[in-house]
Amino acid sequence: MADDNTDNRNQPEGYVPPEIWTWDTSNGGQFASINRPVSGATHDKVLPVGKHPLQLYSMGTPNGQKVTILLEELLAAGHAGAEYDAWLIEIGKGDQFGSGFVEINPNSKIPALADHSTDPVTRVFESGSILIYLAEKFGAFLPTAGPARTETLNWLMWQMGSAPFVGGGFGHFYAYAPFKIQYAIDRYAMETKRQLHVLDTHLAAHRYLAGDDYTIADMAVWPWYGGVLNGAYNAKTFLNVTEYSNLARWSELVGGREAVRRGRMVNRVAGPGAFLRERHDAADFNAAETPSA
């Protein structure tokens, strides 16, 4: 009987995993230059510190947008202490491997937050942790007790565990891998559509994810799954997103909020829509750029 590992469908044909894996940068696709199998800083770089106690180091990916949306929502709700500086970390250039950034987040992933209102300075990394930290700090968008708090955290943790299948899984193999692999695309498309159905089914009976109130769960889920509905990876048709009418209703509801509109601009370097490389004051939004025609 033939060894399954020699199946001629393997890519490249005949590929058999070696006994000990080693990293070959020539096989890494679009992100090979910044991916590596070890942690730690690659260069010395002190992070800038602005005038506000809250210093955010990020990029306007879905994970970065979660935090800037919450900060803008806090400011819109009257929490003046939520003023912040948002410094751009260009992950395509390897800024996340600078020594200063690694001191805040040893995992070298955006976003990362430093709260200078505490002594010593509090570092917060992982987007979900930052959302909880800020919501608790300002007493907003996270119920303090009971089923509503648990439901909010349920959906926040669901997003944290589920979105990697959408971004690192479906998005990578559908849009970014150096060649198309049907098995990988089918596997992650199936999981992405299952997740969209989870949300669509839940939102058929709920205004927001945790019930009647808008929370950090909505802020966490919207940049990812609202993005899929709005054309992330140019996959709207492929995923047939028009099937999910309840999710579309919720996505439009959340996306229509002024603080969400502002938050999703921050630390982005290109469109669609207006973008703002760095934000140090509310007036900076007046200088937001728009994509070239």
Q: What is the mean pLDDT of residues 17-31?
A: 82
pLDDT tier, 2 (very low <50, low <70, confident <90, very high otherwise): very low
Q: What is the pLDDT of residues 132-146, one digit of tens each?
A: 999 999 999 999 999
pLDDT tier, 32 (very low <50, low <70, confident <90, very high otherwise): confident
Pick 196 or 15 by higher pLDDT: 196
Q: What is the 3-state secondary structure (H, E, C) of 170-229?
A: HHHHHHHCCCCCHHHHHHHHHHHHHHHHHHHHHHCCCCECCECCCCHHHHHHHHHHHHHH
Contact 110, 91 (CB under 8 A): yes
Q: What is the mean pLDDT of residues 76-87?
A: 98
State how far the Cα of 181 lies from the Cα of 11, in Å rounded to an integer: 8
pLDDT at 75: 98
CATH class of 146-255: mainly alpha
Q: Does 3 have pLDDT greater than 70?
A: no
Q: What is the pLDDT of residues 211-263, one digit of tens each?
A: 999 999 999 999 999 999 999 999 999 999 999 999 999 999 999 999 999 99
pTM of whole model > 0.85? yes
Please say whether the structural domain 54-141 has been given the CATH code 3.55.30.10.
no
pLDDT at 40: 97
DSSP per-residue letters across 128-178: HHHHHHHHHHHT-SS-SSHHHHHHHHHHHHHHHHHHHIIIIIIIIIIIISS
Q: Which residues contact 3 (CB under 8 A, 6 or more apart)?
A: none
All structural domains of the chain with their residue ranges: 54-141, 146-255
pLDDT at 292: 64
